[in-house]
Amino acid sequence: MSLAVPACFFQIIDQASITSPKGFVSAGIHVGIRKRKRDLGVLICTVPATAAAVYTTNAFQAAPLKISQENINKEGKLQAIVVNSGVANACTGERGIEDAKAIASQAAQLLEIPAHYVGVASTGVIGQYLPMDKLTSGLEKVIPTANEAGGYDFAEAILTTDTFTKQVQVKLQVDGKEVTIAGAAKGSGMIHPNMATMLGFITTDAAIESNHLQLLLKETTDKTFNMITVDGDCSTNDSVFVMASGLAGNESLNPQHADWDAFQAAFTYVCQELAKKIAKDGEGATRLIEVEVTGASSRQMARKVAKAIVGSNLVKSAVFGADANWGRILCAAGYGEPLLRPEQVQVKLGTVAVVDKGLPVPFDETKASEILNQEKVDIHINLQQGAYQAVAWGCDLTYDYVKINASYRT
């Protein structure tokens, strides 16, 4: 169960790296913002890359996002992104803005590029100022070390409470040229579908104009990153950046291009898999929950119901306890979309039918419990009101989620 992403258009690469597309290098090091782990990363393109981005809808948008948005809007291009973990640089006022500008300026000087070709991103504790002395000295160290083998170090440097790095890569043919798309992301807590709800970085060597790339990212975000939730909290720093070097040598992509559908499918797959990895790595999570809604009268209805179910703390708790309490699923569907018709709804836990026409049906509790104990739990709900569908991803709610967030600053 997943989005209709035709994998026949592209090849999935197991050893994924954000630097695999032509023209990209990266690095990640420890500069002392965090106690031991890598906490400063750079992603660099050898040429000015076509750029696009989406940002959090939280009113307290962090300073780095404001600077990145301002820089991208000047030409629709980036050549480098600097990311730190440990401190979010959010709710830091004018000082936070100046610090974000200083990071972009220093990186630009070291790379000998215009300052507006540098994007900045931060993740970590809200309300703390960046330790600029550590970042200043860190940039002088990390930028010279960036190389094509630095993908893993970069992917590790952007993490906070994540338990694993998140990378995806595919390749396909465009105009007979090999094109690569790769992505790296972080996200574990403060994840809720209200933009992208995480930090995500996507690279490609395809040639594509910024307006088409921006539209593609926005449309893809709505059906991938916007369909995940861990805890219902939309962070201040969430963003997804895309950089396209154009070095694959293809004719510039647009919706009329013969290979547009293939490129769109490959791009969607990268975003979808990153989104699923984030949902799977929810703080304290033991299971990935995938909710598929079919038979909706509109795409909006399908998405609202799917997100309501996967975001329900009662549903998440039931999955953690392997309790086939289907009433919680119906309850969430009902408040997610009050216009659905209860007498037509069908629900399955994996292959086990538990509800038909809004009423309970006899089922094997042991089989249902086995399904809920699997690493990936599938919930299907058919509204039988139309032809639209949607998929949302989340995770179970465990004791460890409270433990992790009760001591996040300490």
50 is catalytic: no
Decide if 296 contacts 308 (C-beta within 8 A): no
Q: Return the amino acid letter for 272.
A: Q
The catalytic position among 197, 203, 236, 398 is 197
- The H-or-E segment that residue 261 falls in is helix 260-280
In DSSP notation, 348-402 reads EETTEEEEETTEE----HHHHHHHHTSSEEEEEEE--SSSEEEEEEEE---HHHH
Strands (E), 115-165: 118-125
Count the neighbouring beta carbons within 10 Å of the beta carbon of residue 104: 25
Decide if 309 contacts 331 (C-beta within 8 A): no
Q: Which residue has the tokens 């969607």?
A: 268
Look at the alpha carbons of 319, 323, 325, 326 in this order and tell me if their dihedral is positive or negative. positive
Tell me the Ramachandran region of residue 107: left when phi exceeds 0, alpha when psi lies from -120 to 50, beta otherwise: alpha
C-alpha to C-alpha distance for 401 and 287, rounded to whole angstroms: 13
Residue 410: CA count within 13 A, CB half-sphere: 3
In DSSP notation, 52-73 reads EEEE---SS--HHHHHHHHHHH
Question: Tokens in use for 192?
Answer: 């809720």
In DSSP notation, 205-252 reads ---B-HHHHHHHHHHHHHHTGGGB-SSSPPPSS-EEEEEE--TT-PPP
Decide if 108 contacts 42 (C-beta within 8 A): no
Decide if 232 contacts 163 (C-beta within 8 A): no
Of 167, 391, 203, the closest CA to residue 281 belongs to 167
Of 300, 288, 374, the closest CA to residue 338 belongs to 300
Q: What CA–CA distances, in Å, run from 74 to 44, 203, 228, 375, 407?
A: 19, 20, 31, 45, 41
Question: Tokens in use for 172?
Answer: 């396909």
Catalytic residues: 197
